[in-house]
Amino acid sequence: DPKIIQKPKYLVAVTGSEKILICEQYLGHNAMYWYRQSAKKPLEFMFSYSYQKLMDNQTASSRFQPQSSKKNHLDLQITALKPDDSATYFCASSQDPGTDSDYTFGSGTRLLVI
């Protein structure tokens, strides 16, 4: 059974619209993260949360907003979508946010903005 569930797997959106990417983890981890994988770029760290509190935000745009309604949930709301937002978005988690943590990744949500 997948330990990190990301929904949906695929998403097509119109430029200017808003979408929410869902992430739930069942590992009992206390820290959760969002990463983005765009074509020809390395996997980029976006956000980290620990105990439902934002720890770090490396995303330049305020159009990307994480939302944590429960400890094992970290959704990603993206507003005013642009074609450049097309990417695969990965959710990850770790027991805690320390530098020696093990990270588990979900299978990703592939977003295409047209």
Site residues (CB under 8 A) for other proteins, limited to 54-83:
55-56, 58
Report how far residue 7's alpha carbon sits from residue 65's, in angstroms, rounded to the nearest whole number: 16
**Is there binding between residue 102 and other proteins (CB under 8 A)?**
yes
Rounded to a whole number of angstroms, the minimum distance from the CB of residue 20 to other proteins is 19
Binder among 62, 69, 98, 114 for other proteins (CB under 8 A): 98
Nearer to other proteins, 2 or 83 (CB): 2
Report how far residue 106's alpha carbon sits from residue 103's, in angstroms, rounded to the nearest whole number: 10
Place of tokens 């805690």: 96
**Residue-wise burial string across 20-34, b where 16 or more C-beta atoms lie within 10 A, e elsewhere:** ebbbbbeeebbbbbb
**Is there binding between residue 1 and other proteins (CB under 8 A)?**
no
Q: Total number of residues binding other proteins (CB under 8 A)?
A: 29
> How far apart, in Å, are the Cα atoms of 85 and each of 31, 91, 110?
24, 16, 10
Binder among 27, 45, 73, 95 for other proteins (CB under 8 A): 45
Report how far residue 114's alpha carbon sits from residue 16's, in angstroms, rounded to the nearest whole number: 10
Q: Which residues bind other proteins (CB under 8 A)?
A: 4, 31, 33, 35, 40-45, 48, 50, 55-56, 58, 90, 92, 97-108
